Amino acid sequence: MLRRTEGIVVKSFPYGDADLIVSFFTLDFGMLKVFAKSPRKIKSRFGSSLEPFSRDTVSFLGKEHASLPRLTQADIVYSFQGLREDFGTFVRATELLEITAGLIPEMEPHRELYAMLLDTMRQFENGGIQSGKGQTGRVQPNAVAPNAGYSNRVHVNGAQANGGANGVQSRWKLFYKVKLLSIAGFSPRLDGCLKCGKKGSVFHVNEGAIICPGCSADHSAVNAMPSNKNYILLSQGAINLYEHITRWRWNKLGRIVPPQQLVDELDALMNEHIRFRTEREIRTRAFMEKCPPATTRVPGL
Ligand SMILES: [Zn+2]
């Protein structure tokens, strides 16, 4: 059965001499792995559509879950070339795609998340400045909500506020991570102790939550030694920022312009949390794939 959708190229890896297996994050099927015949040959019909970050319309053939679908067509809607032209941007954009692939199962559609990823990539590309061509959509990256608690900052424009394009990108990367975790069902709990609900400041990575000193079995966690990666000491500012991001709707998040220090602090926590959850997800999926026996095969080979 031929299916059509649109998707963002997450990654690809070679198969044989000329073929590729390509992962897309698609609008209608979520994460989707397909087999592409001969795209590495000169004059391939796929052209440069299989480069990471490309937003393509795609057609593929194959029964759902029965085999690796075969890509029959991929046409570029937008190449996101700007994400490949600067090394820092490339690394940050790659991170967006990798954490998405790590937390979202294959063939499970997440249209809202797909729109958020596209928005974030646009923000990355234009450094937070609205293009006026519909690229940035509804967000107002330069505006600061008066009640956000971060309004004492001066914003010359989106690109120069808070560390220039890097600041804009790290901020949007954080927004995306928080929403991705929420959609994937892996949000960390920071609003109070996991066990008693009391306010606390020590995040336990293996619990995915703050645990207060009274409920912590391990009293070394009370001081949250920086060398111990299982415990992360969080500032109240970072906890408040997290609560803002989780409460605010996506299309309003551009109004939050927090100090870079808080973005970095919360991002470091998210990274540890995502690393822990992703490793567990990968182990769980590997286990699930063993039972029943794996059915994935490349068609026609
Ligand atoms: Zn407690």
pLDDT tens, position by position, 257-272: 999 999 999 999 999 9
Distance of alpha carbon 36 from alpha carbon 46, whole angstroms: 9
pLDDT at 154 over 70: no
pLDDT at 225 over 90: no
- At 43 the pLDDT is 65
Distance of alpha carbon 100 from alpha carbon 246, whole angstroms: 18
Cα 244 to averaged position of ligand 1 atoms, centre (Å): 23
Cα 210 to averaged position of ligand 1 atoms, centre (Å): 8
First to last CA, the chain: 18
Residue 165 token pair? 């394009």
Cα 214 to averaged position of ligand 1 atoms, centre (Å): 6
What pTM, to 2 d.p., does this model score? Answer: 0.82
Cα 241 to averaged position of ligand 1 atoms, centre (Å): 22
Cα 273 to averaged position of ligand 1 atoms, centre (Å): 20
Q: Which residue, 107, 82, 135, 92, is CA-closest to 27?
A: 107
Domains of the chain, by residue range, sit at 2-79, 92-190+234-287
pLDDT digits (tens, 9 = 90+) for 50-74: 999 999 999 999 865 667 899 999 9
Cα 85 to averaged position of ligand 1 atoms, centre (Å): 48
- At 292 the pLDDT is 54
pLDDT digits (tens, 9 = 90+) for 120-149: 999 999 875 443 333 333 333 333 343 444
CATH H-level, domain 2-79: superfamily = Nucleic acid-binding proteins (2.40.50.140)
Cα 288 to averaged position of ligand 1 atoms, centre (Å): 34
Please state the rounded mean pLDDT for residues 112-118. Answer: 98
More confident call, 119 vs 299: 119
Cα 283 to averaged position of ligand 1 atoms, centre (Å): 30
Cα 229 to averaged position of ligand 1 atoms, centre (Å): 20
pLDDT at 167 over 80: yes
Cα 124 to averaged position of ligand 1 atoms, centre (Å): 39
Catalogue the E-assigned strands of the chain: 2-15, 19-26, 30-36, 55-61, 70-78, 202-204, 209-210, 231-233
Cα 216 to averaged position of ligand 1 atoms, centre (Å): 7
Cα 211 to averaged position of ligand 1 atoms, centre (Å): 5
Query: What number of CA atoms fall less than 13 Å from residue 63's CA on the CB side?
Result: 6
Q: Which residue, 295, 298, 294, is CA-closest to 14?
A: 298
Cα 265 to averaged position of ligand 1 atoms, centre (Å): 23
Angle subtended at Cα 40 by Cα 38 and Cα 46, rounded to the nearest 5 degrees: 70
- At 160 the pLDDT is 40
Please state the rounded mean pLDDT for residues 238-250. Answer: 96
- At 201 the pLDDT is 93
- At 247 the pLDDT is 95
